[in-house]
Amino acid sequence: MPLCDSAHSACVSRTFLRSWRCHPKLIFTEETLGLKRTEARDFTSRVNQILKNHSDTGVKILEFVFDDRNNVNTCHLNSWLQKAVTPGIEKITLFLPWRYREEYNFPCSILLDGRGNSIWYLDLTNCAFHPMVGFDCLRSLTKLRLYGVCITGDELGHLISNCFALEELQVWCCMELICSTIPFWLQRLSCLTVSECDMLRVIESTAPNLTTLDFFGEPVQLVLRESSKVKHLKVGYSYTPNAVSYAITKLPSIAPHLKTLAIYSSSETVNTPMVADKFLAIKHLNIHLGEDYDDAVTPTYDYLSLASFLDACPVLESFNLSVDQSDMQHDSVFGDPSLGLRQILQHKHERLKKVQIIGFCSAKSMVELTCDILKNATSLESLTLDCIYGAGTGAISDSVRCGPSRSGKCWIRSQAMILEAHKAVGAIKRYILERVPPAVKLNVGGPCSRCQAMDVMLPQLSSV
């Protein structure tokens, strides 16, 4: 029964009223309140009516989700929280519109007197939160998510310093953070996400059991100390180039025990260098190369240089490369016929079993990288080359995989990339197919049946 119907029933039924007074789950959204778009301004009156019929005890889950058209006064919001946040509450979600970010201060006082000690999940979006020194109200908290919250590094420290049960911390778009310090005594903390905090300069963690770290934003100083045993790391830069080069040159010493590494780069302006330090434990490597400001992966970047990253991971078992571009500007393998394919003789990828290249194109250096893998990955079991970025390998044989099944048009962003997909298939047939060992399963994803048909002028295949 929708929340508003439950409240209305409580008004006419004594039995239902007694049950409603202790209803443990209060989720206030336009949908649960049964509000139509034209009734958006009735949000406050509906919530007031419901909470009036509810007792001051028994709430386990509390959620407020509204936007600007609901026109909620912060005084009303404070009174709702004061009434609903009682001892025994376990989960609080507060999702506010953007303008509340500096306008509304989440009241720390509602967590005092033992009312916050039972909370295990706290999710705040677009508000201010300013806990003071000695804040000690969330001892049962296991998951904390802050999105668009005005909070300083010191205040975040006050907030989590006594959260001894904390297991997962997510901080998104908190623009007042400059330095984030995770203390040693958070021994249960295993997952940390920090994303798009534009003013952040330093992340320092001494939490001894941190195993998963996701970071997205501008480059920061990453100091892990006792957290150097992190096993799973995702790193991506918003605007600064060369995340791949940063990863291979800096991370072996910062996080030497990594088993899984994912890198997201909007642009690589320098080739991936050869390094002496190795990732001695990485088994799974994912690299995503997106578009730079010219709407193409930097044409001077040498895909073959990625072989040095494979060489830096001696126990690597799987490698996924994704290339998202709307215009392929690299030198094509169908260019100057006098230029043969380059080889790197010293590389050996003896443990590598599974390779996927999503967004495979006819760039000469990408073909060379693929050939290098086929030659030097002596344990390779499967190779997937998908010429359509974003189609998904699970649908690689689907004739309509480039778009919804009921759509008459594919979503590929440009005619140039449809043409490029055809060229990429031609490059596979000419340069790669015959190099695939019998024991390796080759999966090729080309343009789907709905892609606009194009005649692609490729050099005639010749016997090699």
Q: How far is CA 238 from CA 137, 166, 174, 260, in A?
A: 35, 28, 15, 21
What is residue 142's predicted lDDT score, i.e. its pLDDT?
98
User: What is the reported pLDDT for 403?
Assistant: 56
Tell me, letter by letter, the H, E, C secondary structure of 320-336.
EEEECCCCCCCCECCCC
Residues of the chain with pLDDT under 70: 1-21, 291-296, 391-414, 449-464
pLDDT of residue 376: 93
Distance CA 449, CA 274 (A): 42
- pLDDT of 10 reads 52
> What are the φ and ψ backbone dihedral angles of 137, each rounded to 5 degrees?
-120, 0
* Separation CA 61–CA 68 (nearest Å): 23
**Beta-carbon contacts of residue 449 (< 8 Å; ≥ 6 apart):** 399, 400
Quick: pLDDT tens for 65-117. 998 888 899 999 999 999 999 999 999 999 999 999 988 999 999 999 899 99
- pLDDT for res 53: 81
Domain ranges of the chain: 1-86, 98-230, 254-333+344-391+410-457
